Amino acid sequence: MLDMRYCELSKDGFGCCMTVKETLFSAQSEFQKVDIFDTESMGRVLTLDGLMMTTERDEFYYHEMISHIPMCAHKNPKTVLVIGGGDGGTIREVLKHDTVEKVVLCEIDGMVVDACKKYLPAIGCELENPRAEIRIEDAIEFIKDKKKQYDVILIDSTDPMGPGEGLFTEEFYTNVKEALKEGGIMAAQSESPFINQKEMKMMYPLLRKVFPIVDCFTGPIPSYPGGYWSWAFCSESVKPLDYIDEQRAEKVSKLCKIYNKEYHKARFALPNFVKELIK
Amino acid sequence: MLDMRYCELSKDGFGCCMTVKETLFSAQSEFQKVDIFDTESMGRVLTLDGLMMTTERDEFYYHEMISHIPMCAHKNPKTVLVIGGGDGGTIREVLKHDTVEKVVLCEIDGMVVDACKKYLPAIGCELENPRAEIRIEDAIEFIKDKKKQYDVILIDSTDPMGPGEGLFTEEFYTNVKEALKEGGIMAAQSESPFINQKEMKMMYPLLRKVFPIVDCFTGPIPSYPGGYWSWAFCSESVKPLDYIDEQRAEKVSKLCKIYNKEYHKARFALPNFVKELIK
C-alpha cells in the first residue's frame, strides 16, 4: 500500500502530519497550487501552495472564531465583507446571524471556490446562498472604492507571502477601515503566536497605525502548526468587550460546536508572551 | 546527512513531528522507555514509551497551567503533592509560590528524574530545592495512608495506559480526596479534547463519583497531538472561580510566560463540545 503523508513543517522541522488516503483535486491556478485530499484522521483537507488551510474535522475551530466574535460584538451587522475565505466556511458562519442582509465574499482565486463547492460541500455549503455574493477579484483593488459600506469585514487570508502578501499592508488596512460603516469592526487572521512570532510583531504595529482600537484573540486549531492561532480585532470605535449581543450570541451558539458567550469573552485574556508580541 | 524525525501520530495518522538532531539518552527503565533527544525546533525533548512528554521550547504551556491555576485558587497552599511529573517542571512552578513549605514529588520511575536532572536542567532545575522532597514510589501505594496532609495535589501523569493507568481509577481518586486537607484542591491532566475524547468521557464521570466539585480548564500545548489540552479541577469545597489570590497571582505572573489572573479565569470558559465531553 502507498503510505502517503502530508506534513507541514516549519523551516526548523516542527509541524503537523496526516496520512493521506486519496487525492481528490490537484491543480495549479493562476495564483497558487490548490490541493484537496482525503484523510482518515481529519476528513477532507484543503491546502494552498502546500500549506494547510482547512480540514473537515477541525474547520469549525477557525471559522467560528473569525466570524462570531466580531459579529456578536457588532450591534446590528447587516452587510459583511469576507476577504479570502474561498472555501466558504466563514460565510457559512456569518449567515447564521439573521441580521445579515448581504455577505460579499471577495476571493482572488476562482479555482478555490469551485473546488471547495465540489469537494468540500460541508464547508462550502452556503456559497450559493442568495444572501451571499461571490466576487472573484483581487481584494486589494476591490476595496479601494468601497467607502462606509460594511458593518463587519473579515480578512480570512493566507499567510503574508504569495497571493496574501498585499493583505498585510498599511495601505490595505487603511482602505479596509474606510470601507467600514460607523461602528464597524474588522477581524483578521493574524498567524500563530507559537510559529509566526515575527509576522505578528510586524502586523500589529501596522494595524495600530490605522485603527485606534486593536486587540487580539486566540484559540486552538489542531491542524495548524503549533495548534494555536490568533486573530486581530480592530475598530475605530468599538472595544472588543464593550458589547456582546446576548440574544444573537445565544442563538448562534446553539448552531456551533465551540462558540458561546463566555468563550467569546475569554478569548481576549492573553498569555503574557502574546501581550508582548502584539505591543 | 541522517534525516531523523520524531512523529507522534494517532492511530488514524494525525499528529506532530519534529526533526531530531541528536539522541542524548535512551534506555528502558523498569516501567517504560525513556528517551531524551535534541531538536532544532523544540530544543530538548522527553518522550516516555515514544509519547511526547515535554519539550524545552513549549514546556511552560503545560507546567504553568497545571500548577498556577489550582495554586492561586487555594488561599494558603503550604504542602503540595505532585504525582508523576518526574521531569520537575511542575514542582519548579509550585515553588514559585512563597506560601509553599514543602512539595513532595512522587514519581514511580527514578530513571526519569535522573535523566531530566542531567539532560533537561531548565525543566528539572528545582529537583534539588530544599523545599522539594523526591519520592521514587508508586503513587497508588504512597497515597493510601496519607490523610488530610496536602493543600494541593497535582496529578501530572502520562496517559491512561502503561504505568499511568492506575492513576485514572475511582479508588485512586478517593485516596487523593482523602489525602487533601480541608479546602484542598486536586488538579489532574485530563488529555486532549481533540484526540482523546473517549478518555475524557471516561475520566470526568469517575471524578464526579468522588468529588462534589469537578470542572475543567483547557489551553494550547503546541507539541502535544492536536495542540489543545485539558486539566480537571476537583475539590470537596472550592469552586474554581470562587477565589483567586490576587497578590500571589500577580507575583507569580511576573515569573511566567503565560500565566496571569485574567488568563486563569478565562481557562474555565469551555467550547460547547468540551462541555458535552465532561458532562
Q: Does B5 sit within 8 Å of A19, measured CB to CB?
A: no
Residue A99, min C-alpha distance to chain B (Å) = 23
Contact status, residue A6 vs residue A45, Cβ threshold 8 Å = yes
**Residue B163's pLDDT is what?**
78
| Cα dihedral sign, B42-B43-B49-B50 | positive
* Minimum mean pLDDT range among A65-69, A159-163, A182-186, B135-139: A159-163
- Alpha-carbon gap: B158 to the closest alpha carbon of chain A (Å): 20
* A217 contacts chain B (CB < 8 A): no
Q: Which residue of A has its CA nearest to B4?
A: A13
pLDDT in tens, B55-89: 999 999 999 999 999 999 999 999 999 999 999 99
Q: Tens digits of per-residue pLDDT, A239-273?
A: 999 999 999 999 999 999 999 999 999 999 999 99
pLDDT for A58 beyond 70: yes
Comparing CB atoms, the residue among A17, A18, A227 nearest residue B227 is A227
State whether the Cα torsion A205-A209-A210-A213 is positive or negative.
positive
Band of residue A104 on the pLDDT scale cut at 50, 70, 90 = very high
Residue-level pLDDT at B52:
93
| CA geometry: angle A102, A88, B15, nearest 5 deg | 150
**Contact call for residues A88 and A62 (beta carbons, < 8 A):** no
Per the CB < 8 Å rule, is A19 touching B14?
yes
Ranking A29-33, A61-65, A109-113, B5-9 by mean pLDDT, the lowest is B5-9
Closest CA to B268 of B53, B72, B89: B72
Give the pLDDT score at B1.
55
Active-site residue among B87, B151, B156, B215? B156
Using DSSP's 3-state secondary structure scheme, residue A153 falls into: strand
Contact at CB, B19 and A13, closer than 8 angstroms: yes
**DSSP state, A10?**
-
In this prediction, residues B150-170 reach a mean pLDDT of 90
Query: How far apart are the CA of A190 and the nearest CA of chain B, in angstroms?
Result: 17
State the pTM of this model: 0.96
User: Measured between CB atoms, does B265 come within 8 Å of chain A?
Assistant: yes
Rounded distance between C-alpha atoms, residue B59 and residue B261, angstroms:
20
**How confident is the model at residue B116, as a pLDDT?**
97
Give the residue-averaged pLDDT of B271-275: 98
User: Residue B164: is its pLDDT beyond 90?
Assistant: no
- Strand partners of residue A35: A26, A47
- Residues from chain A that touch B273, judged by Cβ atoms under 8 A, are 257-258
Query: Torsion over CA of A9, A15, A21 and A25, rounded to 10 degrees?
Result: -50
Q: Of B192, B216, B262, whose CA–CA distance to A265 is shortest?
A: B262
Interface of A with B in 47-86 (CB under 8 A): 58
For residue B13, the distance in angstroms to the closest alpha carbon of chain A comes to 5
Out of B12, B17, B259, name the one closest to residue A15 (CB): B17
Is the CB of B271 less than 8 angstroms away from the CB of A253? no
pLDDT of residue B2: 63
Mark whether A156 is an active-site residue: yes
Q: Which three cell numbers stand for residue B108?
A: 514511580
How far is it, in rounded angstroms, from Cα A202 to Cα A219? 20
Question: Rg for chain B (alpha carbons), in Å?
Answer: 18
Instruction: Say whether pLDDT at A221 is over 90.
Output: yes
| pLDDT the model gives residue A21 | 95
For residue A127, is pLDDT > 70?
yes
pLDDT of B160 reads: 85
Calculate mean pLDDT across residues A113-136: 97
> Residue A164 pLDDT > 90, yes or no?
no
Report the complex ipTM: 0.96
The answer to whether A226 contacts B224, with C-beta atoms less than 8 Å apart, is no
- Pairwise CB contact (< 8 Å): A259 & B272: yes
Q: Do B17 and A40 touch (CB under 8 A)?
A: no
Chain mean position to CA B164? 12
Q: Over 70: is that where the pLDDT of A64 sits?
A: yes
